[in-house]
Amino acid sequence: MATVTLEQISKAFGATFAVKDFSATIADGEFVTFLGPSGCGKTTCLRMVAGFIDPTRGRVSIGARVVSDPERKIAVPPEERGVGMVFQSYAVWPHMTVFANVAYPLKIKSVSKEEQRQRVGRALELMKMSDLADRFPHQLSGGQQQRVALARALVMNPQVLLLDEPLSNLDAKLREEMRLELKQLQKQTGVTIIFVTHDQMEAMVMADRIVVMNAGIIQQIGAPREIYLKPANRFVGEFIGVANFLSGRRRGDGFALAASPQIVLPFQPPAALTSDALVMMVRPQDIALHPSQGQLAAQVAQKMFVGDATEYFVSVGGETLRVRGAPREDYAVGATVHLTISAGQFFQ
Amino acid sequence: MKRLRLNSGQATLAFAVLVLTILVVYPLAQLVYQSIQYNQQWSLQSYLAAMTSESNLLALRHSLEVSLAAMLGSTVLGTFLAWLIARTDLPGRNFFRTAFVLPFLIPPFIGALAWLQILGPVGYLNKFLMTLTGASEPFWNIYGPAGIVLVMMLHEYPTVFISVLGGLERMNPELEEAAQISGGRIFRVMRDVTLPLMMPTIAAGALLVFITDIANFGVPAILGFSENYYVLTTQIYNVITRSTQPNSLNIAAAMSILLALVSGLGIFLQRFYLSNKEFAVISGKSMQPNVVKLGAHRYWLFALALTLFVIATVAPLVAILLTALVRAYGLPPLPENLTLQNFYDVLMLNQSSRRGIVNSLGLAVTAATIISLLSAFIAYIIVKTKMRGRALLDFISNAPYTLPGTVVALAMILAWLKPLPLIDFRLYNTIWILLVAYVARYLAFGVRTAAGSLAQVHSSLEEAARISGAGWLQSFRDIVIPLIRPGLFAGWFLVFIPCLRELTISALLWSTRNETIGVVVFNLQQSGNTSASAALAVIMIAVLLIANLITRRLTGGKLGY
C-alpha cells in the first residue's frame, strides 16, 4: 500500500484555475474524502491522481514514485500507475461478463488463466458476487454493477483505490449499505482510499480525514469531528451540517448582536480575531429551549415536526435561528421561548 | 334535432388509409400480383424465368459482389475517419468533420459521371499519366466493377462515418478510462473496449451502405452499360425498357421481388443490430474523451485526410466543372479551350434539358408540399392516437423509401399502366405518374420529421384546446399544426432536395416532354454528349448546393450538410 502526496498542484483550463495550490498527504491505508460542492475541483484532483488529467504545476507522488511533475516532464500514464478506480457510472463493460470484466486487468498483465480464476474468484467473493460471474452487466442491478466495478478495481491489488462519487447513482437504502461495506472493505484490504463526494453525510460517515474544497482551493483538512466542530471558515461551517450565523461585534467580554445591540451573548470572541464586525456560528443542537429561563427570549416563527425532533425557526432581535427541540417538547407558533446557547464559534 | 356527426378521428384514419392504399399498397400489390402471372394466368413461371436465366443470375452475383465490396470499403474508410476525428488530436478536425460528409451532396450518378472525366479512357488523370509516361494505353479504365465499387465507396462512406462518429462521441468515456486504469495501453483499450462496443453501430452503418448500394441504379448504369456489366437494378431496367418479349414485365416483377428480398434481408439485419440495447453505452454527461496524441504521425495523417477529401469531393467536382467548360469533350482544359457555350446550350437551346429543369423543380415543389400536408395527418395517427393498425400505417408509409427505387418504379408502372376507371385517364406516360411515385417514395421523410415534432407536443396542450371548446379538427388546425410547423417545414426541404436529384425512379417513368434533370443528364451522357451532360450536372449540383444552404439556414444547421 502507499502514501499519496499532492504537492502544490494546480490545474488551469485557459485562464481559470479548476484547482489551485492543492497540497495534501494521504497516509498509507488512510480513507480520505475530497468533499465540496459540484465544480469545486475535487474530481479534477482525483483525475490528476489517476493520470487522466495532467497538472499544470505541482507534483503528484504515489508511494516513493513521482507520477506527475510537469517541471521535470514526468507524466506517468494512467495504465502504469497501478491504482484502482471506480467511476461514477461504474463503467462496467457491457460486452463482457462479470468474470471477464473483473479479469480484464489481470489479462492485460498476462496473468495465467489459473491465477486469474483464483484472484477473480476471491475478488467476487469479497463483493458477494460469486454466483453472478457469468452474467452480463445488463442483467445486473445498479448496486451489483457497482460491486463488479469495485471487484475489478481491487483485483490487481492496487496501492491506491480511487472512488469518484460511486454511491451517487444508488438509492438511499443501498447507499447506506455500501458505505458500511466500503469501510469494511478498507479494513480487510488495508488499501489507501481517496473518495470523492459532494454528500457531506457520506464524507462524515466514511472518511478518516476530509479535504473540504471550494472553487478549486482547499478550505480545510481534518478528521470529520474536527471539521464539524471546528470549521476553519464560514464556508466549511455552512457546507458541513446545519448552522446559524449571527452577525455582531465584541462588547466587553461578550458578543452583541448587530440587529439588536442590547442583546449581549456571554461568549468572548478570541483575541486573534481583530476585526470589529464578527460572525458567530451556532449549531442548532447547541441551543437549548426552555419555556421560562435562558440567555435570551425568542418568538417561534415556524415549526416542523420531523419525528426525532421538532425543528423551530425562532426570531431573536431581527435574526432567525434554527433550533432543535426534543420531540416531546411542543411550543406553539407565536409563543415565546427562552434560548440558552452552549457553544459557538467566531469568524471574521 | 340530432345531427349526424362523423367521428373526426376515424375520418382522419380513413383518409390516411385511403391515401396510403392508392400511393403504396395498391402498386406494391400489383407488383406481387404480376409476378405470379404468366400469359395472363396464375403461375410461378416468371420466378422460374427470373432465376434460371444466366444473365439474371450473373446480375444477382454482380449486385452482391459490387455492393459487398463497396460496403467493406465504405465501412473501413468511414470507421477509420470517424476514429481520426473523434479520438485523435489530428489538426483541422472541425474542418474535416464537415468536409468528410460532403460527398452526400453529390448524387451518386453525377459522381460516376465525374469519375469518368478523371479515369475514363480519355479522363484527365489517365491522359496526364499517359503524357507523363509516354504510354499508349490508359493507366486505368474506370468502366466495369472496380470503378463502380470505387464510386459507390467514395459516395457512401459518410453513412458509416456519421453513425460511428456519433457513437464515439456519445460513448461514455469512463468505459475507456476504466480499461486504461486497468493497465491497458491506448491501442489495447481501443481493441478490447472501444471497437467491440462500437461493433453494432459499425455493422448497422455497413448494412445501410449495402442496402443503398444494392439499390443503386445510376452508378452501375453509367459505368456498366458500355461494358455490358449488369447488376440487378440495371438488368431490371433493361428488361423493362428494351425487352420485347411477352411477359417481360412479369419477369421484371419477379426480379424486383428478388431484389427487394435481398435488400430486405439487409434491412432486417440492420434493425437487429440497432435494436441491440444490451450494448447501451451512451452516457448522459458530456466529457472529453481521451484522445490519442498522434505526435509525428499527425503530419502524414493530416495529408492523408486532406487527400481523401480531395479525392472524394474536390476532384469529382473540379473534373465535371472542367468538362462542362471545355469546348469539346476530350480537349485539354487549357485557357484557349474554355467556353460557356455548353451552359448556353443546355439552358437556352436544348429543349429537353430546359424541360427537365422546369419539370424537376415543379415536381420537387409539388411533391414536397403534398407530403408535408399528408404527413401531418399520418404522423398524428401514428404518434398521438391509440388507434389499432397505426404501426401498420407507419410500416406502409416507410415501405417505398426502404425498398429499392427500381422496385417502386416498376410497381408504379404496373399499377398505373391501365387507364383509370370512370375518368379514363392514363397516368402512365404523363408527368403525374412521376409525381405519384415521388410522393410515395419520399413520404417517409415527411412522416418521420412530423412524427419527431409531434412527439414533442405534449397532449395536454391539445386537451387544453378541447376543454376550451375546440373540436378535434379545430384544435389540430389551431394548436397542433402551428406547433409542428418547423418540423413540417424541415420535412418539406428533406423531400425537395432528393426529388431534385432523383434518377432511379425517373429513369423508368419518364416520357418524352416529361423528363427530369437527372434523366436528361443521364440521356445526354448515354447518347455521347458528354459536354452538355456535364454542364447540366454542374447546374444540378449548383441548385442542390443552394437548396442545401437554404435548408441549413432555415433549420439553424439541424438539417443539411
Residues of chain B with pLDDT > 90: what percent? 60
Contact B380, B452 (CB under 8 A): no
- Does the structure show a pLDDT above 80 at A201? yes
User: What's the grid cell of residue B461?
Assistant: 396542450
Q: Among A198, A214, A237, identify where a domain stops.
A: A237
- Does the structure show a pLDDT above 90 at B354? yes
- Does the structure show a pLDDT above 60 at B3? no
Candidate from A64-68, A81-85, A125-129, B557-561 with smallest mean pLDDT: B557-561
Judgement on whether residues A194 and A265 belong to the same structural domain of the protein: no
Contact B530, B553 (CB under 8 A): no
Q: Among A204, A237, A270, identify where a domain stops.
A: A237
CA distances from A138 to A92, A134, A341 (A): 10, 12, 54
Q: Is B177 on the interface with A (CB under 8 A)?
A: yes
Residues of chain A with C-beta less than 8 angstroms from the C-beta of B291: none
- Does the structure show a pLDDT above 50 at B263? yes
- Does the structure show a pLDDT above 90 at A117? yes
Judgement on whether residues A201 and A277 belong to the same structural domain of the protein: no
Q: How far is CA A123 from the centre of its chain?
A: 26
Q: What is the mean pLDDT of residues A45-74?
A: 93
Query: What is the domain extent for residue A135?
Result: 4-237
Task: Give the nearest chain A residue to B284 (CA atoms).
Answer: A89
Residues of chain A with C-beta less than 8 angstroms from the C-beta of B174: 87-91
Judgement on whether residues A171 and A262 belong to the same structural domain of the protein: no
Judgement on whether residues A274 and A296 belong to the same structural domain of the protein: yes
pLDDT tens, residue by residue, B459-474? 888 888 888 878 788 8
pLDDT tens, residue by residue, A75-99? 999 999 989 999 988 889 988 999 9
CA pair distance B113, B320, nearest whole angstrom = 8
Q: Is A173 on the interface with B (CB under 8 A)?
A: no
Q: What is the mean pLDDT of residues B531-558?
A: 88
pLDDT tens, residue by residue, B475-516? 888 888 888 888 888 889 889 999 999 999 999 999 999 999
Which has the higher per-residue pLDDT, B7 or A323? A323
Of B180, B188, B280, Cβ closest to residue A78: B180
Q: Do B182 and A108 touch (CB under 8 A)?
A: yes
pLDDT tens, residue by residue, B298-334? 999 999 999 999 999 999 999 999 999 998 888 888 8
CA pair distance B51, B557, nearest whole angstrom = 47
Of A79, A92, A95, Cβ closest to residue B181: A79
Q: Among A237, A255, A284, identify where a domain stops.
A: A237
- Does the structure show a pLDDT above 70 at B280? no
B4 confidence band (pLDDT: 50, 70, 90): very low
Predicted local distance difference test score (pLDDT) of residue B2: 40
What's the domain count of chain A?
2
Of B181, B277, B278, Cβ closest to residue A78: B181
Judgement on whether residues A89 and A40 belong to the same structural domain of the protein: yes
Amino acid type, B58: L
Amino acid type, B463: E
User: Cα distance from B292 to chain A (closest Cα, Å)?
Assistant: 12
Which of A137, A102, A135 minimizes the C-alpha distance to A116? Answer: A102
Predicted local distance difference test score (pLDDT) of residue B1: 39
Contact map slice: B 261-280 vs A, CB within 8 A: 277-280
CA pair distance B498, B544, nearest whole angstrom = 9
Size of interface A-B (CB pairs under 8 A): 71
Predicted local distance difference test score (pLDDT) of residue B329: 84
Q: Do B179 and A94 touch (CB under 8 A)?
A: no
C-alpha angle A136/A142/A148, rounded to 5°? 55
Q: Which of A44, A104, A159 to mutate to test the interface with B (most CBs of B within 10 A)?
A: A104
Candidate from A315-319, A331-335, B53-57, B81-85 with smallest mean pLDDT: A315-319
User: Cα distance from B273 to chain A (closest Cα, Å)?
Assistant: 14
Which of B484, B531, B141 minimizes the C-alpha distance to B326? Answer: B531
Judgement on whether residues A263 and A227 belong to the same structural domain of the protein: no
CATH number at residue A265: 2.40.50.140
CA pair distance A273, A346, nearest whole angstrom = 8
Burial (Cβ within 10 Å: 0-12, 13-18, ≥19) of residue B163: buried
Residues of chain B with C-beta less than 8 angstroms from the C-beta of A52: 177, 180, 290
Predicted local distance difference test score (pLDDT) of residue B5: 47
Interhelix angle B405-416/B248-274, rounded to 10 degrees, is: 140
**Residue A26's beta-bridge partner residues?**
A4
User: Cα distance from B168 to chain A (closest Cα, Å)?
Assistant: 15
Amino acid type, B138: P
- DSSP codes, B371-424: HHHHHHHHHHHHHH---TTHHHHHHHHHHHHHS-HHHHHHHHHHHHSSPPTTT-
A336-341: strand order across its sheet: A287-290, A336-341, A296-305, A310-316, A319-325
Judgement on whether residues A213 and A308 belong to the same structural domain of the protein: no
pLDDT tens, residue by residue, B140-186? 889 999 999 999 999 999 999 999 999 898 888 889 999 999 999 88
Judgement on whether residues A123 and A184 belong to the same structural domain of the protein: yes
Residues of chain A with C-beta less than 8 angstroms from the C-beta of B179: 93, 104
Judgement on whether residues A218 and A257 belong to the same structural domain of the protein: no
Which has the higher per-residue pLDDT, A328 or A60? A60
Q: What is the mean pLDDT of residues A186-200?
A: 91
Q: Do B178 and A152 touch (CB under 8 A)?
A: yes
Contact A62, A51 (CB under 8 A): no
Reduce the DSSP state of residue A24 to 3 states and report it. Answer: strand
Judgement on whether residues A251 and A227 belong to the same structural domain of the protein: no
Contact B524, B388 (CB under 8 A): no
Question: ipTM higher than 0.90?
Answer: no
Judgement on whether residues A212 and A273 belong to the same structural domain of the protein: no
Q: What is the mean pLDDT of residues A180-193?
A: 88
Q: Which of A81, A87, A157, A196 to mutate to test the interface with B (most CBs of B within 10 A)?
A: A87
Q: What is the mean pLDDT of chain A?
A: 90
* Distant-in-sequence contacts of B115-121, Cβ < 8 A, 24+ apart: B115/B142, B115/B147, B115/B150, B115/B151, B115/B223, B115/B316, B115/B319, B116/B142, B116/B222, B116/B223, B116/B530, B117/B319, B117/B320, B117/B322, B117/B323, B117/B530, B117/B534, B118/B142, B118/B315, B118/B316, B118/B319, B119/B147
Number of residues in chain A: 348
Q: Do A85 and B193 touch (CB under 8 A)?
A: no
Q: Which of B175, B182, B277, B291 to mutate to test the interface with A (most CBs of A within 10 A)?
A: B182
Residues of chain A with C-beta less than 8 angstroms from the C-beta of B283: 89
- Does the structure show a pLDDT above 70 at B84? yes
Beta strand ranges found along A204-329 (DSSP E)? 209-214, 217-222, 244-251, 254-257, 264-265, 277-282, 287-290, 296-305, 310-316, 319-325
Q: Is B290 on the interface with A (CB under 8 A)?
A: yes
- Does the structure show a pLDDT above 80 at A232? yes
Q: What is the mean pLDDT of chain B?
A: 89
Diameter over CA atoms, chain B: 96
Judgement on whether residues A232 and A248 belong to the same structural domain of the protein: no
